[in-house]
Chain A
Amino acid sequence: MSVDFWATQFLNGVTLGMIFVLVALGLSLIFGIMHVVNFAHGDLLLVGTYVSLSVFLLTESLLLGVIVAMLAVGVLGFVLEYFILRRVDHENVLLQLLVTFGVAEIIRELVQLRWGPVGMNYPVPDWGRGNVDLLVTGYPLYRTFVIVAGIVCVAAVYLFLTRTDYGLVVRAGSHDRDLVRTLGIDIRRIFTLVFVIGCLLAAVAGTLVGPLRSANPELGVELLIPAFVVVIVGGMGSFTGSIVAGLFIGLVITLTGVVFPPAQDAVIYAFMAVVLLVRPHGLFGTPQEAH
């Protein structure tokens, strides 16, 4: 149990945490403005994983894989929002949640039809096989890439939210969507936009996580539920909350896996219970947002 061992474990936690950040950020953005808990998010991610895998196996290019995956999941998300969610009254959040739950089931079945119910190996790309020398420890290149790619995505979302007109509308809408509507802005178009952005993040997360785990039909749900914990702990709709809580949950899972493996999967839920007791609205949520 030397320094480099713990450094490696720490970085493993950050890598996993990055995946959670990307999933939770999408969920949180969608919730912030649409007030929809998107139960299909995990299975949209799953589509990203399988599509990028297929393209990757065909072309040997993970970059091409992630682009096609983003296109595919983006279009799927657009169809889901534009043709299905819009038909359910957007003030009725429970029915919206249930629709996404039903759609998730349909997507998962379609994925199993196309790629089979058994998992598929997702190889690490050739360029990611080496180690990076990080002074204290060598760390697998692909995992380092995941961390960097995660940071890039988070930065992109941050710039979109703070530096563009659409981002401004999204932030305003998260604050008070009725007020935005009264200003004559078509909030439904913003809903679609945000939903698609969430889907793009899911596609990237789905691709990045592929070589870390293998592709299997349960992967979506396995990542979605910890992502729920992330948004609850971080505070729903909070950008900072998703990032801090995502990384933290990733670390908690990984380090528990080292210290006491049997508790690895259950620990974050106990942790969430403690957070709820101390701060019911999450670490970065404001009490006003605590519905």
Chain B
Amino acid sequence: MTPDTSTRAPTGIRGVTTARIKWLVATVVFVSLPFLFSELLVGQVLIFAIFAMGYNLLLGYGGEPSFGHAAYFGLSAYGTVLFLQYVARSLYVAMLFGIVVAVLASVVFGWLSLRRRGLYFAMITLAFAQMIFYINLQWTDVTGGNNGLIMPNVDGSIGPLDPASGGLEFYVFCLFFLVVCWFGIRRVVNSPFGRSLQAIRENEVRAENLGYNTERYLLIAFVFSGLVSGLAGALYALLFSFVGPELYNFFMSGDIVIMTIIGGVGTLGGPLVGAFVYVLISDLLAEFTSLWPLLLGAFFVAVVIYTPQGLYGVVQELLGEREASFDRQRLLELFGLDELQRED
């Protein structure tokens, strides 16, 4: 269900619509997942899928590569735990508080970072995330510094279900948010706002000349992705009942870029596939060999070199949803010289 396919249903293998095939696969995967892998692993899969989907709104649809989205993820996770510790033992209010913190931070940092585009934007977002990381590390009285914080025990019962108790209940809770994000983001992407955003991605100067306030559109996309990242962060705090400085760091920001890219940037399903593949593969590799980061890095480089459209892009090509290398061409236009000459 990419924006390309939403208006017409392409017929794939033997006349079955590809959308139906994908829904079937997704249903089977989501139902079987909690029975195949450990609680923590499937929780992470869903959380990173949400995170990557939110991130993709900025990178994939807005066309701006942030290298600092760990900041909003981490701020929300810490916000949730700190609220529980100091204000009130109410899980959902705390999560909401965490998300609000992430949104506020993304407004400020987004506004500052969007003074530049492209590669500069990437480095500026990275620098702000580092600032948060170091403040977090030094402010030990509040954040626990290097030791992190343990989340107080809370009761999060909604009727008979308590997501805070972990297990299948947490999984269902996360899945609920994943589905909400999926439909929410699809709605946003296909809305007039989303269309304008993609127009800005394709050619910002042209959009500007047409009268769009491009900076405001990009800022809204930035804040929206900050919001979804914040949701993922709050869920992460709940899953582990613990937050540590590694939530903020450079590698977390990089991981989310990697997931989005290997899945397929600028498609709805891509980040989902990317998060699944990345989290599951790294876990499987970690079980077999201590060399797993090395192999993962090599896998990532290979994906970038050989299939710049991502794994989901390959699936789409196989299903005949779009011409081969379509996205590659678009990526070239997006981040190529066109971009560098944008403000000339």
Contacts and interface: CB of A to CB of B under 8 A. Distances in A.
Contacts of A95: 304, 308, 331, 335
Given A262-B138, A262-B139, A276-B124, A288 B294 contact: no
Given A225-B130, A265-B134, A101 B120 contact: no
Q: Is the interface of B mostly helix, strand, loop or mixed?
A: helix
Interface residues of A, number: 47
B339 interface: yes
Nearest to A276: B115
Nearest to B140: A262
A101 B257 contact: yes
Contacts of A102: 258, 297-298, 300-301, 304
Contacts of B117: 291
Interface stretch (A104-112, A123-131, A184-192): A104-112
Residue from the set A94, A101, A266 with the largest chain B CB neighbour count within 10 Å: A94
Contacts of B340: 35, 93, 291
Interface string A247-291: 000000000000000110110011011001100100000011011
Nearest to A104: B297
Contacts of B332: 89, 91-92
A4 B223 CA distance: 49
Given A93-B335, A99-B301, A291 B118 contact: yes
Contacts, number: 137
Contacts of B65: 94, 97
B127 A229 contact: yes
B158 interface: no
Contacts of A236: 120
Contacts of A73: none
A263 B138 contact: yes
B297 A94 contact: no
B261 A98 contact: yes
B126 A225 contact: yes
11 contacts: A37-B123, A92-B336, A93-B119, A94-B118, A99-B301, A101-B258, A102-B300, A105-B254, A110-B294, A225-B127, A231-B123
Interface of B: 65, 112, 115-120, 122-124, 126-128, 130-131, 134-135, 137-139, 250, 254, 257-258, 261, 291, 293-294, 296-298, 300-301, 304-305, 308, 331-332, 334-337, 339-340, 342-344
Given A88-B305, A93-B118, A94-B334, 17 more contacts: A37-B123, A84-B301, A94-B65, A99-B301, A105-B293, A105-B297, A106-B294, A221-B250, A228-B123, A228-B127, A232-B127, A262-B138, A269-B128, A273-B112, A287-B343, A291-B340, A291-B343
A-B interface, 10 closest residue pairs, ranked by CB to CB distance from nearest: A269-B131, A105-B297, A265-B134, A91-B336, A94-B335, A102-B301, A109-B294, A106-B297, A266-B134, A262-B138
